[in-house]
Amino acid sequence: MDINYQFLIKTFYLVLAAVPTTLNITAVSLLIAMPLAFYLAVIRLRPGKYIQIIISGYITFVRGTPIVLQILIIYSILPSFLNSVAKGFALEVNVFDWNPIIYAYIVFSLNTTALLCEVFRSALASINKGQLEAALCAGMTTVQAYRHIIVPQALVVAMPNICNITVKLIKGTSLAFLMTVKDMTAVAKIAASYGYNYIEAYMDVFAGYVIVCSVVQVAFAFAERHVGKFRFIK
């Protein structure tokens, strides 16, 4: 097998140049998903039959379908739906001119929300309910109790799974090219298409994701040590 090392090196720099796009999708998706997932997790721990069914149905759909299918559904149907709504309200908005990264935000945010919801639910359920009751008896509001007592402890439990989901999200953004987003994978595929140097391109993508995911895992390891001080000895 002959390797075009010149192309390999050149494309590797192109892949690195696309890292900000991959991290952008990851960061925005997490910023949207985390508060939504936490709110849904709190709701799931409270009584309420119908809302529980709706949230469980949403989580089951996301976890039970390939993300490729979710991308195809949202990227194919959502623009047409939004265009119909815009026409119905006589709005001069052409949704087909929107940056496709917006749809990437939507897809990966919805997907990550469902995954994080279960992580937060299990983490919150692991905290003794007596701590919340004690905080309320001490005069704290529910928000204060969650902020100062419940959430710090829940983060200790949830952090490893949050790391796993973040790494999975980074790797999942490689499918953003289906929405014409020029992420690391898309840039490499485009570069390889001219001379059919796909082996070299995929080697570059492989190295790029290994580097990015390794840095993220190191960052989470540092964060785990930081939040570890909130671990209560039972």
Domains located in the chain, CATH noted: 5-230 (1.10.3720.10)
Q: Which of 190, 192, 162, 187 is nearest to 173 (CA)?
A: 187
Mean pLDDT of the chain: 89
Asked whether residue 230 carries a pLDDT value surpassing 80, the answer given is no
Q: Which amino acid is at 175?
A: L
% of the chain at pLDDT higher than 90: 58
Rounded distance, CA 131 to CA 150, Å?
8
% of the chain at pLDDT higher than 70: 97
Instruction: Write out pLDDT tens, residues 165-216.
Output: 999 999 999 999 999 999 999 999 999 998 889 999 999 999 999 999 999 9
Cα separation values, 95 from 32, 83, 88, 90, 172, Å: 21, 6, 14, 13, 25
Instruction: Write out pLDDT tens, residues 70-122.
Output: 998 899 888 888 888 888 888 888 888 889 999 999 999 999 999 999 999 99
For the entire predicted model, the pTM comes to 0.89
Q: How many CB atoms lie within 10 A of CB 100?
A: 16
